[in-house]
Chains A and B, each alone.
Chain A
């Protein structure tokens, strides 16, 4: 039984996307060395490319790859044992106060280790993309807009800290679980938002990152199906990314929610997202992700921008602001308020945010003000606000949009 080289290439690529985390996580658990496990997992995928054309694609590629990676790791450990270097290994031994039985999964161990709170947020996100999603260092560097050597150094340092500080390779104990899941979800959301609006560059949406964040969200939901925050986080990502196709015009320009062709929204994703949100709300009082998902769901179910239930959206933002008093949430609430009560009310709601230092370089505040001023026909003030927003955004697609608005204000103001 043999397989064509192209079929093998596709099978290996698919296995890499689906099974990388499992292969690496199981190998790391077996050998207690993250670096060695990574090396052996890579070699297993390389070997598949060589062996599968002759042997055929195995029925369970993940199991085959894991077996090969583990055998390699075992051989290497045997070889090293003869001239054993004093290297700190992963702490894999179980403890008395261990995680609940359902959390006993190698992939969860890997995720919780990558997202350990003793690592910086940057390191957590980089390790998660590198080790859980299997991205190359170059790809991770591109995701966070740093050079490859910088990212390589960041990943190396994080791995060294895991080894020397003995960050354990296991899921957290029950009393820590909620807080630790919170950190993991923040990392996933960071990857998602980085993909949703790339902070700079020529593409508005980085689909590679969006897809990785969704993969992570689905994996977490698979492994922790009864966790309300995990369900809500995945619901939020599904509902927001359902609009991706409608958010960019054929020429690559930004299309605002108000202008989007809602027939291009992904109905299947919206349905999944709403089902997950309902499930999450049945399990627990709504947290930050559930409220954000609920806001996205109101938009998703509304036939048009003008028919949107803005009262519902404003009250959801009120609840969200109480849980998560972030100036960005306050900004979004002010925009919704402007939709409910008119541009003058929206402008007034933005007023208290103008002095907030954390929004000082946030382009969306200026853009929101500019839009209300434009609706109020205060052309000169609108022009200044659009210019501010332009000066603050580095994303080319958003710049194009703001320039177009600026030009229309100029025409009307004359």
Chain B
């Protein structure tokens, strides 16, 4: 039975980047550049997100003789998931701010 763990900080960065414009299809390399992740970290994250049905994928046909490109965007479930992450983060940060524990 697969364990259901929470997303890693890197996965959350990828989710937030995709959630910034949820309707837009994104390329892997652009995504890696934006969230400052190496390709070796990005693709395992994308694979896990797709396995959990948080990521929708599509292929963009390339010019003749060149391979197609893979495109990514969040599923509706993932958008709700990211919204829930934001709420949970806001709730956690409130007591920290009250105690003066915020890092800023």
A associates with B: no
B residues touching A (Cβ–Cβ < 8 Å)? none
